[in-house]
Chain A
Amino acid sequence: MTRVHQALSGVGPYDAVSNQAQAWRELLGRWGMAGEVYADAIDPRTADGVRPLGELDPDPGDLVVIRYSAYAPRLRPLLALEQRKLLVYHNVTPPRYFWNHHPGVAVACALGRDQLPRYVRAVDVAAADSRFNASELALAGAVAPRVVPILFETERLRRLGPEPEGDGPLVLVVGRLVPNKRHDLAIAAFAAYQRELAPDARLVVVGEPLSPSYRLLVERLARESGARSVSVLGGVAQPVLNSLYARADVLLSTSEHEGFCVPLLEAFHFGLPVVARPAGAMPEVGADAVLWSDDDHPGMPAELLDLAVRDGELREELARRGRRRLEDFSYDRTAERIRGAVDAALA
């Protein structure tokens, strides 16, 4: 029996790549192909069901899926395996965002982007989770890379945590606290919105920080912006995030570099309007269901936040379009794409 094993450089909580590995494993299990998930670095908070990379010992007929999202020297020996290999590229952030904030991560990003062609050459099939990422794969030498979107399973979005407290329009920002997400722009947009249009508005920022000092930097930016009622929560458990999605009035993303952006789909699931910057893969995921702000000045996203909060009919239309986007990214549709990539890699 063929098993499909997945290898990652690292797993961590609140991480889209780690979640994908688990979602694929479940799906592969239904097809009778369940393998294990292996990772080089395993965050103690996510040890369940993930085995150390050194234990990976596939049978000759097995398939090895290499999820590539960072420099991973310990993944490199996998390229020499005789087994069939499928590369899934989740994007590696350009290092320029990190040199000043976390040189170690910047080095990993620089080397990760640099070594991508080696992985492309060594695998049987190369895939990416968005057209944006597939274009980077093509630049790295992949011929006709496949696009296999994020497998969006909604089961984890069902359980709600405690109801968030407070009144006033709730603006939600979801995404790791890292420089390419440009939380500074989100804070500036919110500050303008609160100052000019909605004095009782609140901002909640959710996301695992790059480092404790980077979190302090984001908190300092919030204080200096003059905005009130800003909460930087860090990473939160899924039910807590679900409650925030359910209670929020609008999701705001000012990210500058995105390989996919799962929070867009999560917001659509909760019928939440989205104001975002058309960066990276976001336009192909959000398409016409997002209020796109193409101006870096905080004024435009602030006005869009106001419209998204106040205009009921606009909210309904955005929710309707969001549901249509969810059909395009439905579990079954993506499962078919995954099956196609797996079969092609095994052929």
Chain B
Amino acid sequence: MTSPEEAIGQARERAGARRAEAGAQSDESGGLEASITAERPSLELLGEWSVIEVDSADIYSTRRGGAPVTAFKHLLLRLLGQYHRQVEARQTRFNIALLAHVRDLEARVAFLERQAEPSENEAGPAAGD
């Protein structure tokens, strides 16, 4: 009888052998990995998020027979399109401007840190630290 523990060992071995046979092709990743962010999103990702775009496919009703409700919500969106585009544009303007400031600050901090490094070495450790 194959015990569950033996089955796990066998599966690991067979998968390893198959993977070795297939070579690098089998190592291709994809799926959702790239869409799951780090705890703190990168500046590049913040840049993507700064542009406000709402997917209207996610405006829907969960009610039974909710198709008319969904259709009504989409109609409302269309009727209020001018207003929403203004809101989105203003929020996007603010986000992009703020992000530009953050990028500038990051660049300045990096520059100042680079400048500080050699002078610290030259001065040696400060007394009393």
Contacts and interface: CB of A to CB of B under 8 A. Distances in A.
A329 interface: no
Given A184-B31, A293-B11, A288 B37 contact: no
Given A299-B19, A303-B15, A317-B4, A100 B26 contact: no
Interface residues of B, number: 35
Interface residues of A, number: 48
A8 interface: no
B36 A221 contact: no
A278 to B, nearest CB: 11
A297 B26 contact: yes
A96 B30 contact: no
A228 interface: no
Contacts, number: 105
B58 A211 contact: yes
Interface string B32-50: 1101111101000000010
**Interface residue SS majority, chain A:** helix
A344 to B, nearest CB: 35
B37 A96 contact: yes
Contact of B32 (A102, A182, A293, A307): A182
B8 A292 contact: yes
A55 interface: no
A216 B62 CA distance: 16
Interface in A268-307: 288-293, 295, 297, 299-304, 306-307
**Interface residue SS majority, chain B:** helix
The interface centre, meaning the residue of B4, B33, B57 with most chain A CB atoms within 10 A of its CB, is B4
A102 B55 CA distance: 10
B4 A318 contact: yes
B12 interface: yes
Given A184-B32, A293-B11, 12 more contacts: A44-B63, A44-B64, A45-B62, A96-B37, A96-B39, A212-B58, A213-B55, A297-B15, A314-B1, A314-B4, A314-B7, A317-B1
Interface of A: 43-45, 94, 96-97, 99-103, 179, 182-185, 187-188, 196, 211-213, 216, 221, 224, 288-293, 295, 297, 299-304, 306-308, 311, 313-314, 317-318, 321
Interface of B: 1-5, 7-8, 10-12, 14-16, 18-19, 26-27, 30-33, 35-39, 41, 49, 55, 57-58, 60, 62-64
